[in-house]
Amino acid sequence: MREEIYIGGWTLSRLRERSQSERHAVWKRAKSLHSAEGNHLARAIERLGLPYAEPEPLAEDDALLARMKEIIASLAARSAAIEATLDGLPALAGIDVLLHEQLGEDYRRDPAAAPTAEALVADLMRGLGYVEVGRKDLPARCVARSGAFWKRG
């Protein structure tokens, strides 16, 4: 028996394979279509029983947050963020790689880690005198899927 195919070619098995953040993006896009097909997909995601809301950032007392702050405060992270920005990528692209190298599965598997990293990188970039000018996709090697793009303020 074949699976039902929703708008955009989505199936329940494809949605199950996606991360919480990716399912949230699909759900949000489906809702924004204001169409019967979009609503049908959004309801299917809701009925799937898997988390699809945008994950909250890590709690202040979380050990992973403390380790992430330490890494992002390093000179290597600052250099990586600026280099990524100069290469036309979100600053998170440079730091995401460092976080994954140093934190491994703890970073990759926690749905709150990428949104937390993005918030910490935003604080770093503002502190360095940069202003946000939009969003861009990150390279496939990154855990996070998109991030803010910055320019000198």
Q: What mean pLDDT comes out for the span 124-135?
A: 95
**What pTM, to 2 d.p., does this model score?**
0.69
pLDDT tens column, 67-124? 999 999 999 999 999 999 999 999 999 999 999 999 999 998 888 898 899 999 999 9
CB 131 within 8 A of CB 150: yes
